[in-house]
Amino acid sequence: MRSKDRALARKHLDSKLNSIRRSSDILRPPKGWVKAIREALGMSAEQLATRIGVTKPRVYEIEKAEISGSITLDSLERAAHALECKLVYTLVPKLPLQEAVEMRALEIAKKRIRAASHTMTLENQALDEKELSEQIESLAREILDQGGSGFWKEE
């Protein structure tokens, strides 16, 4: 994927994720979604088991697995379907994607420029802070424009 295509993809994903990122109300209830919704509907574990096609003890295992974080997406989706719900699965980045990419480019640029700056200092050709900052910004823009698969490789 080209750099401009990636930037457009980030922009579209960011716009979709912004409303979710801003909503802190979507935290899993302490007893888990499956149990919370089942109880709110007035559905017994046995009734849910019948709807899923599993045993009653399996329903309790599903509810415990959700709380512990070991539930599979397949089990969660089957439970959601039996509860007349839809499963919405998403990863919500802590920062907007564009901001994360820009921060990564700055991080790479700082490492590269600082290494070169150290050599220049040893040769008595040190850059002042303003020049150093401008060089970092310029290199970060180049790194962003290049993109590529090595972008997230640890240096």
Tens digits of per-residue pLDDT, 121-138? 545 556 677 888 888 899
In this structure, what CATH number is given to the domain that contains residue 80?
A: 1.10.260.40
- The predicted pLDDT at position 126 comes to 63
Kindly state the average pLDDT of the residues 81-86: 97
What are the C-alpha distances in Å from 35 to residues 30, 61, 104, 139? 10, 11, 40, 52
Cα dihedral 90, 94, 95, 97 sign: negative
- Do 45 and 65 have their domain in common? yes
Q: Does the pLDDT value for residue 71 go beyond 80?
A: yes
CB within 8 Å of 126: residues ≥ 6 apart: 117, 120
What is residue 52's predicted lDDT score, i.e. its pLDDT?
97
Domain range enclosing 41: 31-93
* Structure-block tokens of residue 24: 């802190």
What mean pLDDT comes out for the span 20-47? 90
Residues 116 and 138 in one domain: yes
Q: Which of 27, 19, 17 is nearest to 100 (CA)?
A: 17
Structural domain contains residue 16: yes
Question: Which of 50, 77, 93 is the C-terminal boundary of a domain?
Answer: 93
